C-alpha cells in the first residue's frame, strides 16, 4: 500500500516569487533572478520570451572557447590570427564595441578572452569564430548545437557578436542557465569577467559591467546594448556563501540598468536565504521490509537537499515521505524506494528520491513460508 509520512519543519522551506511573496516590481521588460546553488528562480518576468540579446550573446561565444580550453584542444597562450573580415565587421567603423585589433595580428587566446569579456570586442568574437570554425556562419551552427546540448529552449544564433540579426534571439531564462554553466564549468577562467580594465594596442578600456564598480561581491558577467534590445545585463554577485545570477533586458538607459540591477540583486540577498534541509545519508524515516533478513530499513537521501527560501515563509514548509510499504527484499543500498516531497503551503513542490540506506538480503524458502503464515494469521504488522 502507499504510505505517507507527513511533517512540518520550522526554519526550513523553499519558495519562489510566485508563491505567497509580495511582488517585486522591476522596470526591465524581461528579467530573471536565480540562486546559483539551488537553481531556483526568485523573480521571473517574461523569462521565456526570445528577444534580441545584444552583446549578452557573446557569453555563448565565450562558453565555446572556454570549453575548448578546458578539454585541452586550445591553450591560453595559443594565438589566433585576425582576418580582414574580422577587422572590417568588428572594427570601430561599424559603430559597435571593438578590441581595436589590426589585420594580420596574431593575438593570444588569453587576450582574446579579455577583449570579449572586458572590452566586448565584436572583432575578438569574429576572430574566435573564424579560428574555431573557419567562418562565422559555421560558428553560428556550433552555437546553436551547443545551445541545444545545454538545454536552452528559446535561443537561436546567427553570429558570434550579438549584432542585430532577425535570427539572433535569447531568453532571459536561457541566459541565466548559460551564465550558471560558465561559472560552474570554468572556475579557473571565470575571473576574467571581474577584471575592470584591459589595454590592447595601447588603448585602455574599462569593463562595461556597472555592478563591478557599485556593488560589493559583483564579479561578472556581460552587458549588452542595441537600439532594438535596449540596455541589458547578465550579472553575478556573491554575498557570504551565496551567489545570485540576474539577467535583464529592455531598459532605457545605462543609469537605469545599473540602478535596477543593483536593486534586484540586493533584494534577492536580503529577502531570501539558502537552508540545508537534509544532509546526505541522513535517515528520513524507517520502512518495514517483507521477506527480508531485517524487519526494517532506514530511508535516506543520496545528496544534500538545499532550498532557497523567502524569509517570510520560514514556518510554512511541509514534507511528505511517500513509499510502498512493506518494501519487498532483496533491497540494495542506494535503491530508490520512494519520494520525499517538500512544499510551502502545498505549493512550490520539490521532489527528492528516497533511497535505502543499506542492503537487505532476502530470507530463504523456509523464512518466506513462515512470513506468509504470520501474514495470514496475524495480518500485516
| Predicted local distance difference test score (pLDDT) of residue 85 | 96
| Predicted local distance difference test score (pLDDT) of residue 59 | 98
Give, rounded to a whole angstrom, the gap between the first and last alpha carbons of the chain. Answer: 13
| Predicted local distance difference test score (pLDDT) of residue 377 | 52
Are the CB atoms for 249 and 27 separated by under 8 Å? no
Distance of CA 306 to the CA centre of its chain: 15
Q: Which domains does the chain have, with CATH numbers?
A: 2-14+276-378 (2.60.410.10), 30-251 (3.40.710.10)
| Predicted local distance difference test score (pLDDT) of residue 316 | 84
Q: Which three cell numbers stand for residue 14?
A: 523553499
| Predicted local distance difference test score (pLDDT) of residue 381 | 52
| Predicted local distance difference test score (pLDDT) of residue 375 | 52
Residue 103 sits at φ, ψ, to 5 deg, of -55, 130
Are the CB atoms for 33 and 245 separated by under 8 Å? yes
d(CA 26, CA 248): 9
**Global pTM?**
0.87
Residues in CB range of 116: below 8 A, 6 or more apart: 58, 61, 62, 99, 124, 125, 128
| Residue numbers annotated as active site | 55, 58, 120
Are the CB atoms for 179 and 245 separated by under 8 Å? yes
| Predicted local distance difference test score (pLDDT) of residue 379 | 56
| Predicted local distance difference test score (pLDDT) of residue 290 | 82
| Predicted local distance difference test score (pLDDT) of residue 361 | 87
Are the CB atoms for 225 and 231 separated by under 8 Å? yes
Average pLDDT per consecutive 10 residues, the chain (381 residues; last block may be shorter): 37 32 81 96 96 97 98 98 95 85 96 98 98 98 98 98 96 98 98 97 96 96 96 97 97 96 96 91 90 89 90 85 89 93 75 92 63 53 52
| Predicted local distance difference test score (pLDDT) of residue 11 | 27
| Predicted local distance difference test score (pLDDT) of residue 16 | 32
Q: Which three cell numbers stand for residue 46?
A: 517574461
Q: Which three cell numbers stand for residue 244?
A: 545570485
Amino acid at each position: 500500500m502507499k504510505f505517507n509520512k507527513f511533517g512540518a519543519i520550522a526554519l526550513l522551506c523553499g519558495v519562489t516569487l510566485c508563491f505567497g511573496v509580495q511582488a517585486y516590481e522591476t522596470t526591465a521588460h524581461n528579467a530573471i533572478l536565480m540562486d546559483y546553488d539551488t537553481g531556483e528562480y526568485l523573480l521571473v518576468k517574461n523569462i521565456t520570451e526570445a528577444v534580441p540579446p545584444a552583446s549578452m550573446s557573446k557569453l555563448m561565444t565565450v562558453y565555446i572557447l572556454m570549453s575548448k580550453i578546458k578539454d585541452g584542444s586550445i591553450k591560453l597562450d595559443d594565438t589566433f590570427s585576425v582576418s580582414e573580415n574580422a577587422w572590417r565587421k568588428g572594427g570601430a567603423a561599424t559603430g559597435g564595441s571593438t578590441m581595436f585589433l589590426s589585420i594580420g595580428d596574431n593575438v593570444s587566446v588569453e587576450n582574446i578572452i579579455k577583449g570579449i569579456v572586458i572590452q566586448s570586442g565584436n572583432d575578438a568574437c569574429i576572430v574566435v569564430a573564424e579560428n574555431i570554425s573557419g567562418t562565422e556562419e559555421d560558428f553560428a551552427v556550433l552555437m546553436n548545437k551547443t545551445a541545444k546540448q545545454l538545454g536552452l529552449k528559446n535561443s537561436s544564433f546567427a553570429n558570434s557578436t550579438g549584432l542585430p540579426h532577425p535570427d539572433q534571439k535569447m531568453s532571459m531564462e536561457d541566459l541565466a542557465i548559460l551564465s550558471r554553466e560558465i561559472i560552474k564549468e570554468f572556475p579557473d577562467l571565470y575571473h576574467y569577467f571581474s577584471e575592470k580594465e584591459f589595454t590592447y594596442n595601447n588603448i585602455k578600456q574599462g569593463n562595461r559591467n556597472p555592478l563591478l564598480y557599485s556593488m560589493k561581491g559583483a564579479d561578472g558577467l556581460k552587458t549588452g546594448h542595441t537600439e532594438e534590445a535596449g540596455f541589458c545585463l547578465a550579472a553575478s554577485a556573491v554575498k557570504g556563501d551565496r551567489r545570485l545570477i540576474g539577467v535583464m533586458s529592455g531598459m532605457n538607459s545605462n543609469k537605469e540598468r545599473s540602478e535596477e540591477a543593483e536593486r534586484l540583486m540586493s533584494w534577492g540577498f536580503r529577502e531570501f536565504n539558502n537552508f540545508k534541509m537534509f544532509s546526505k545519508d541522513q535517515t528520513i524515516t524507517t520502512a518495514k521490509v517483507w521477506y527480508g533478513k531485517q524487519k526494517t530499513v532506514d530511508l535516506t537521501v543520496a545528496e544534500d537537499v538545499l532550498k532557497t527560501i523567502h524569509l517570510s515563509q520560514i514556518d510554512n514548509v511541509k514534507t511528505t515521505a511517500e513509499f510502498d510499504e512493506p518494501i519487498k527484499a532483496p533491497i540494495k543500498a542506494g535503491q530508490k524506494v520512494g519520494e520525499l516531497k517538500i512544499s510551502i503551503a502545498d505549493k512550490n513542490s520539490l521532489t527528492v528520491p528516497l533511497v535505502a540506506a543499506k542492503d537487505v538480503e532476502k530470507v530463504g524458502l523456509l523464512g518466506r513460508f513462515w512470513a506468509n503464515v504470520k501474514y495470514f494469521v496475524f495480518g500485516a504488522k
